[in-house]
Amino acid sequence: VILTVTPNPALDLTWRVARLTPGATHRVPTGSARAGGKGLNVARVLHGEGHGVLALAAIGGRAGAEFEAELEASGIPHRLMHVEAPTRRSVAVVDEQRGETSVLNELGSPLAVAEVRDLVDTAARLAREAHAVTVSGSLPPGLGEDDFERLMGDLVATGVPVVVDTSGPALLAAARAGAHALKPNLEELEATTGHSDPVEGANALLALGAALVIVSLGAEGLIVAGPHESPVHARLPRVLHGNATGAGDAAVAAIALELAQAGSDTASLSLAGLARRATAWSASAVLMPLAGELSAETGALADEVAVTPIEETP
């Protein structure tokens, strides 16, 4: 089982409109409501591919009730903790003609101190029975850097592989705690480490204590850097058009699966194999209209992915 921790979940509301005209009134089909947040996308991908998963999040209010009902209906195994703060909503308006999405993310309300403690304790307890743990997305109000450091420390102390997809101080805390894999995108990496070169940024996080760093580069694929081998660059040799939302979450799902399957034998883990699977899953997600799903092309895409070692300038 792979445990997916989503510190800052959201109820994702999506409406599709032929063309969004600011200031105008549009008639639209009924929108969709989905349990969201990056960790939920990771859980959906793994569940859809037939792997055992447990989605952990803290929810509250009416949006939380709708979150829970949707998750229940989707069949994804979950552990939801109920908190006072109403779950934030994330509104997406898809302009179908332009193929662009306007997003409104609610800031959310703070978790109480005791709720944060319960969430951290529950994550650590459930991690002990998992084969890998992912922690994805931003931190909610009320869950500070200190709390995140404790979460990282407790998760890494379980010995179970921990994959973290976040940015800023939380990403640095994950590296210092010795997380097994970090998955920033290039923009987040640069904002966090100051390095615009992905290998330099990845090396900075490795130096802090991370075991592996995967930097996603959008259509350019991703790089994987570890302490023992040259970093590798994996990419699909053609550009896919589709929905990039959730592509990074599919990569996290692939990374967690690779680490879970390697078990304690991390030396057997091939950077190239991990890079190939993460790139293929990420590309496959782009072909699907909704985040959290892979297309039937995943296997064929994995065969197409080109993996090349990166020569580091000394």
Element (H, E) at 309: strand 306-309
Tell me, by CB under 8 A, how many residues bind its own copies: 35
Closer residue to its own copies, CB minimum distance, 107 or 296: 107
Asked if 265 is an active-site residue, the reply is no
Cα distances (Å, whole numbers) of residue 276 to 7, 149, 174, 224: 28, 31, 24, 10
Strand, coil or helix: what is 170?
helix
- Does residue 32 touch its own copies according to CB under 8 A? no
Q: Which of 84, 96, 100, 121 binds its own copies (CB under 8 A)?
A: 100
Q: Which of 5, 10, 20, 126 binds its own copies (CB under 8 A)?
A: 20
Token pair, residue 303, equals 């065969």
Min CB(249)–its own copies separation in Å? 16
Residue 6 backbone phi and psi in degrees, to 5: -120, 95
Q: Which of 1, 15, 191, 310 binds its own copies (CB under 8 A)?
A: 15
Min CB(11)–its own copies separation in Å? 11
Burial of 12 (0-12, 13-18, 19+ CB in 10 A): buried
**What's 211's DSSP letter?**
S
Catalytic residue (one of 147, 249, 265, 303): 249
Per CB under 8 A, which region of 28-36, 44-52, 168-176, 226-234 contacts its own copies? Answer: 28-36
Residues paired with 182 in a beta bridge: 164, 213
Q: Which of 18, 32, 52, 62 binds its own copies (CB under 8 A)?
A: 62
- Does residue 75 touch its own copies according to CB under 8 A? no
Catalytic positions, written as ranges = 249
Contact footprint for its own copies (CB under 8 A): 15, 17, 20-31, 33, 62, 66, 69, 86, 88-89, 91, 93, 95, 98, 100-109
